[in-house]
Amino acid sequence: MKKLACLAAVAAVAALAGDSVTFETLVKAQDDPASWLSYGKNYSGWRYSPLAQIDASNIAHLAPAWILATGARGGNETTPIVLDDMMYLTGPSNAAWAVDLLTGRKVWSYSKDAPLGLGLCCGQVNRGFAILGDRLFKVNIQSTLVALDRKSGKVLWETTVDDYKKGYSSTAAPLVVKDMVITGTAGAEWGIRGYVDAYDAATGKRWWRFYTVPGKGEPGAGTWGGDSYKNGGGSTWITGTYDPELNLIFWGIGNPGPDMDGDVRPGDNLYTCSLVALDADTGKLKWHFQFTPHDVHDWDAVADPVLMDLTVGGKKVRAVGQANRNGFYYLLDRTNGKLLTAKAYTKVNWADGIGPDGRPILIPNREPTEAGTLVCPGLGGGHNWEATAYSQRTGLYYFGSTDGCQIFTRSRQQFVEGLEYQAGDAEAPPKQVNSGSIIAVDPSTGQTKWRYEMIHRPAGLLATGGNLIFAGDTDGYLIALDAVTGKVIWHFQTGAEIKAPPISYSLRGTQYIAITAGPNLLAFKLQ
Amino acid sequence: MWSTLACALLLVAPSLCFAQADGNPFTGNPQEVAAGARAFAVSCAPCHGRTGEGTQGQAEGIKPPDLTRGVYKFGSRDGDLYHLISRGIPESGMPSFEQLGTAQIWRLIAYVRTLPQPRKPATGDAVAGEALFQGKGRCGQCHAVRSTGGGVGPNLSYDARLNDPQKIRRAIVAPDDEIAPGYTVVTIVTRDHQTLSGIARFFDDFSARVADSSGGERTYLRDEVISMQRDTHSLMPDNYGTVFSSAELDDLVAYVIKLRTEGRGQ
Instruction: State which amino acid sits at residue B193.
Output: H
Give the closest residue to A393 by CA, choosing from A315, A462, A342, A345. Answer: A462
What gap in Å lies between CA A351 and CA A332, rounded to an integer?
Answer: 19
Three-state SS letters, B184-245: CEEEEEECCCCEEEEEEEEECCCEEEEECCCCCEEEEEHHHEEEEEEECCCCCCCCHHHHCC
| Whole-complex ipTM | 0.86
What gap in Å lies between CA B217 and CA B221, rounded to an integer?
Answer: 14
Q: Which residues contact A28 (CB under 8 A, 6 or more apart)?
A: none
Instruction: State which amino acid sits at residue B168.
Output: I
Q: Which of A76, A112, A122 to mutate to test the interface with B (most CBs of B within 10 A)?
A: A122
pLDDT for B29 equals 84
CB B132 within 8 A of CB B145: no
Q: Which residues contact B14 (CB under 8 A, 6 or more apart)?
A: none
Instruction: State which amino acid sits at residue B172.
Output: I
Strand partners, A100: A86
Mean pLDDT by 10 residues, chain B (266 residues): 37 37 75 85 80 60 73 81 86 79 88 76 88 93 86 80 82 88 91 93 94 86 95 89 93 89 48
H or E segment to which residue B263 belongs: helix B246-264
Question: Which residue in B has a C-alpha nearest to residue A437's C-alpha?
Answer: B205
The distance from CA B172 to its chain's CA centroid, rounded to whole angstroms, is 16
Strand partners, A181: A176, A199
- Quick check: A12 pLDDT over 50? no
Would an 8 Å CB–CB cutoff place A419 in contact with chain B? yes
Q: Which residues contact A288 (CB under 8 A, 6 or more apart)?
A: A270, A271, A274, A275, A276, A277, A337
* Cβ count within 10 A of residue A410: 23
DSSP letter for each residue of A181-237: EEE--B-GGGT-B-EEEEEETTT--EEEEEESS--TTSTTGGGS-TTGGGG-B----
Three-state SS letters, B156-177: CCCCCCCCCHHHHHHHHHCCCC
- Quick check: A249 pLDDT over 60? yes
Report the pLDDT averaged over residues A423-442. Answer: 88
Would an 8 Å CB–CB cutoff place A409 in contact with chain B? yes
Beta strands at A274-279 and A285-290: parallel, antiparallel or unpaired: antiparallel
For helices B102-112 and B78-87, the axis angle rounded to 10 degrees is 120
CB B82 within 8 A of CB B108: no
What gap in Å lies between CA A101 and CA A322, rounded to an integer?
Answer: 33
- Quick check: A31 pLDDT over 50? yes
Task: Check whether the bond before A271 is cis (ω within 30° of 0).
Answer: yes
Residue A369 pLDDT grade (very low, low, confident, very high; cuts 50, 70, 90): very high
What gap in Å lies between CA B71 and CA B68, rounded to an integer?
Answer: 8
Would an 8 Å CB–CB cutoff place A371 in contact with chain B? no
- Quick check: A470 pLDDT over 90? yes
Q: Which long-range contacts (CB under 8 A, 24 or more apart) does A201-206 make?
A: A201/A16, A201/A132, A201/A133, A201/A135, A201/A137, A201/A147, A201/A176, A202/A9, A202/A12, A202/A13, A202/A16, A203/A12, A203/A157, A204/A145, A204/A147, A204/A157, A204/A158, A204/A159, A205/A159, A206/A159
| Residue A419 distance to chain B (closest CA, Å) | 7
| Residue A414 distance to chain B (closest CA, Å) | 10
Q: Do B58 and A430 touch (CB under 8 A)?
A: no
What gap in Å lies between CA A61 and CA B173, rounded to an integer?
Answer: 52
- Considering only CA atoms, give the Rg of chain A: 22
- Quick check: A508 pLDDT over 50? yes
Beta strands at A458-464 and A48-49: parallel, antiparallel or unpaired: parallel
Q: Which long-range contacts (CB under 8 A, 24 or more apart) does B74-82 make?
A: B78/B23, B78/B24, B78/B27, B78/B109, B78/B113, B79/B23, B81/B109, B81/B112, B82/B106, B82/B109
Q: How many H helices and E strands in chain A? A: 2, 38
CB B100 within 8 A of CB B39: yes
In the sheet that A448-454 helps form, which strands lie side by side, from edge to edge?
Answer: A389-390, A397-403, A435-441, A448-454
Chain pair A-B, CB pairs under 8 angstroms: 100
The distance from CA B58 to its chain's CA centroid, rounded to whole angstroms, is 18
pLDDT for A4 equals 46
Q: Tens digit of pLDDT for each residue in A209-224?
A: 999 999 999 999 999 9
Report the pLDDT averaged over residues A137-148. Answer: 98
- Rounded to whole angstroms, what are the CA distances from A238 to A235, A390, A483, B20? 9, 17, 25, 44
Ranges A106-120, A149-163, A375-389: which has the least confidence = A106-120
Q: Do A455 and B41 touch (CB under 8 A)?
A: no
B43, B58, B206: residue with CB nearest A419: B43
Q: Do B60 and A422 touch (CB under 8 A)?
A: no
Q: Tens digit of pLDDT for each residue in B199-208?
A: 999 999 999 9
What gap in Å lies between CA A330 and CA A195, rounded to an integer?
Answer: 23
Instruction: State which amino acid sits at residue A302.
Output: V
Residue that wins the pLDDT comparison between A485 and A123: A485
- Rounded to whole angstroms, what are the CA distances from A375 to A122, A329, A408, A443, A520? 22, 18, 7, 26, 36
Q: Could you say which residues from 349 to 368 on chain A have a Cβ atom under 8 Å away from some Cβ of chain B?
A: none
Residue that wins the pLDDT comparison between B87 and A39: A39
Residue that wins the pLDDT comparison between A31 and A122: A31
Q: What is the pTM of this model?
A: 0.85
| Residue B43 distance to chain A (closest CA, Å) | 6
Give the closest residue to B118 by CA, choosing from B164, B168, B161. Answer: B164
- Quick check: A25 pLDDT over 70? yes
B58, B96, B204: residue with CB nearest A477: B204
- Rounded to whole angstroms, what are the CA distances from B172 to A48, A319, A523? 53, 57, 50
The mean of the pLDDT values for chain A is: 94
| Residue B120 distance to chain A (closest CA, Å) | 23
What gap in Å lies between CA B75 and CA B64, rounded to an integer?
Answer: 16
Report the pLDDT averaged over residues A488-494. Answer: 98
CB A504 within 8 A of CB A90: no
Q: Which backbone phi and psi does A318 adopt, to 5 degrees?
A: -85, 110
A117, A425, A488: residue with CB nearest B45: A425
Q: Could you say which residues from 150 to 209 on chain A have a Cβ atom under 8 Å away from some Cβ of chain B?
A: 189
- Quick check: A164 pLDDT over 90? yes
Would an 8 Å CB–CB cutoff place A372 in contact with chain B? no
Interface of B with A (CB under 8 A): 41-43, 45-46, 49-50, 56-62, 87-88, 90-91, 93, 95-100, 176-178, 203-206, 230, 232
DSSP letter for each residue of A368-435: -BSS-EEESSBTTBSS-SS--EE-TTT--EEEEEEE--EEEEE------TTS----EEEEPPTT---E
What gap in Å lies between CA A302 and CA A260, rounded to an integer?
Answer: 18
Residues of A tagged active-site: 298
Task: Check whether the bond before A377 is cis (ω within 30° of 0).
Answer: yes
Q: Which of A298, A410, A455 to mutate to test the interface with B (most CBs of B within 10 A)?
A: A455
Instruction: State which amino acid sits at residue A128.
Output: G
Q: Which residues of A touch B88 (CB under 8 A)?
A: 116-118
Q: Do A93 and B88 touch (CB under 8 A)?
A: no
In the sheet that A520-526 helps form, which strands lie side by side, from edge to edge?
Answer: A62-69, A520-526, A510-517, A503-507
Dihedral sign from CA coordinates of A499, A500, A501, A504: negative
What gap in Å lies between CA B97 and CA B104, rounded to an integer?
Answer: 10
DSSP tag of A30 = G
Instruction: State which amino acid sits at residue B203.
Output: F
Q: Tens digit of pLDDT for each residue in A299-326?
A: 999 999 999 999 999 999 999 999 999 9
Half-sphere exposure for A135 (CA within 13 Å, toward CB)? 31
Q: Which residues of A touch B203 (CB under 8 A)?
A: 455
Residue length, chain A? Answer: 527
| Residue A455 distance to chain B (closest CA, Å) | 6
What gap in Å lies between CA B223 and CA B206, rounded to an integer?
Answer: 7
| Residue B179 distance to chain A (closest CA, Å) | 8
